[in-house]
Structure 1
Amino acid sequence: MRAHQIAEQFPAVASDSGALDAVRLMAEQRLPGLVVTDPQGRPLTILPASQVVRLLVPAYIQDDPSLAGVLGEQAADRIADKLGGKSVQQVLPKSAPHMPTVDADDTIVEVAAIMARDHSPLVAVVTGKRLVGVITASRLLEVALQAQ
């Protein structure tokens, strides 16, 4: 079985897209993250939901979570203020991981090897450099178990 046969559609946003729109998409579809592409549609990285959640909490509370009790709930309500006018690129972590990619013709064993090597729960499937879809670890396991 080849990567393109098990790849699934997965939301992707361009790095110059609005961060607030990207986060709304993530929330509406209950996604753990979004694939971030360059303007030509080539996968670059992942914007993890956990990174967006970090924007809700000031750095001093991230450093000492015991202080969270002194922060009012309205602080979390201001996420739109923190994202407004920013691009996806601007909210990516400085050390954003490289997006693991596989060729559309790679086998599922090759896909599994890339996931394992990169400790990644998903890989982008590309033809040339164009995004075809995504394979999640859960999808790969589903296919592998069906082969039994």
Structure 2
Amino acid sequence: MRARDLAEPYPFVTTDDDAIDAARMLAGQSLPALLVVDADGQPYAIVPGSQLIRQLIPAYIAEDPSLAGAAGDQHDGELAERLAGLTVAEWAPRSLYAPPIVGPDAPPMEVAALMARTHSPLAAVIERDSKGVRLLGTVTAARLMQYFLQAAQ
């Protein structure tokens, strides 16, 4: 079994898409992470949903969650407004969320190690050829766990 065998299609957004549309896709499809591709269709970022939420909340609350109680519910409706006018690249900069990438021949243990090291719930599987880089799909944590559980039987 190799990464190409474990890879599945995964919804994605582009760097130029509106951040609010990306947030709606993440929420509407209950995705564990946002897969962002650049204009050439190459992986740009993979951002766990928890980190996207972190980008929305005030920094002082992210640093000290006990302050959230004092803030109450009054700011909850404003959080989505922070996305207005932002592109996905501005909301989820590559410098913070470089995508975990593997080649098609990577063994499952390599994919698992990469996902563990990067704290990512998925890894992009790419193939390089004379025409460039092509996204084959992603390996999700759920798919990898399914494989390991089946291999144990």
Taking structure 1 as the reference length, what is the TM-score of the superposition? 0.84
Where does residue 54 of structure 1 map in the other structure? 54
Residue range with higher mean Cα deviation, 116-125 or 6-15 = 116-125
Residue 140 (structure 1) aligned with residue 140 (structure 2): no
Residues 108, 78 of structure 1: alpha-carbon distance in 2 compared, 3 angstrom cutoff: same
Question: Identity over the aligned pairs, expressed in percent?
Answer: 49
Unaligned runs of 5+ in 2: none
CA RMSD of aligned residues (A): 2.2
CA deviation after TM superposition for structure 1 residue 97, in Å: 3.0
Residues 3, 55 of structure 1: alpha-carbon distance in 2 compared, 3 angstrom cutoff: closer
How many residues were matched structurally?
148
Once superposed, which parts of structure 1, at least 4 consecutive aligned residues long, lie more than 3 Å away? 112-121
CA deviation after TM superposition for structure 1 residue 117, in Å: 4.8
Unaligned runs of 5+ in 1: none
Residues 93, 10 of structure 1: alpha-carbon distance in 2 compared, 3 angstrom cutoff: same
Taking structure 2 as the reference length, what is the TM-score of the superposition? 0.82
For residue 135 of structure 1, what is the amino acid of its counterpart?
V
- Contact 1:10/1:133, CA 8 A, preserved across alignment: yes
- Contact 1:55/1:79, CA 8 A, preserved across alignment: no
